[in-house]
Amino acid sequence: DIQMTQSPSSLSASVGDRVTITCRASQSIRNYLNWYQHKPGKAPKLLIYAASNLQSGVPSRFSGSGSGTDFTLTISSLQPEDFATYYCQESYSSPQATFGQGTKLEIK
Amino acid sequence: QVQLVESGGGVVQPGGSLRLSCAASGFSFSDSGMHWVRQTPGKGLEWVSFIRFDGTYQDYANSVKGRFTISRDDSKNTLFLQMNSLRSDDAGVYYCAKEVLGSGLTRFFDYWGQGTLVAVSS
């Protein structure tokens, strides 16, 4: 089974900061990697699919990169509404899916 | 607009059963593969189950295989998850999610419901 490891597990940052979250796969998953944002009590929201493709309607301050085993989600300038938990998810095991353990982004 | 609304959660004793439903609207349900994903207390998201758009194929996480059954009723635009032999580690919020297929193995969840809470306690 593929394991997905995110780092850091939690992160404190300020509005306007540039933030990077890393996701590492236990084997190559090529570019089959998606990113989601999840706020308490809300439905998870797709941000990035296939490693670097911005989902329609998602602000351009979000970007994704990487391939193989190492991936990053970058928020170029944090906004108040961006404080949430972020998850990566591989689709190499399709139709099964494995999520990372999540990165909780908190206000400093 | 796309809507996914889960229901059927509640409190159940260990060993008991629950049937979750997910009512879909705003898209062609019969053309869409669907998934269940859960968030267990203190943990992140865990994929649970998948059903192909035409209902001919299902898949399950090892942790629920043999206990959970996914199904769909396209006449009612509804997805189901029958959960039997429930254990304490099955407790959490269960989400249904609509998938999108891209090139190769690209597969992502573009819409999710708000979830239904399952508690397993004696």
Question: What pLDDT does A37 receive?
Answer: 98
Tokens linked to A26: 């236990």
Reported as a single tens digit per residue, the pLDDT across B68-114 is: 999 999 999 999 999 999 999 999 999 999 999 988 888 999 999 99
Q: pLDDT by residue (tens digit) across B17-35?
A: 999 999 999 999 999 999 9
Q: Among B24, B20, B33, B37, which Cα is nearest to B86's?
A: B20
Going A89 to A90 to A95 to A96, the CA torsion angle's sign is: negative
Interface of B with A in 2-21 (CB under 8 A): 4
Contact (CB<8Å) B104/A45: no
Q: Is the pLDDT of residue B64 over 80?
A: yes
Check A30 against B102: CB less than 8 A apart.
no
Residue of A nearest to B5 (CA): A43
Q: What is the average per-residue pLDDT within A52-61?
A: 97
Q: Which residues of A touch B111 (CB under 8 A)?
A: 43
Chain segment A85-95, per-residue pLDDT in tens? 999 999 999 99
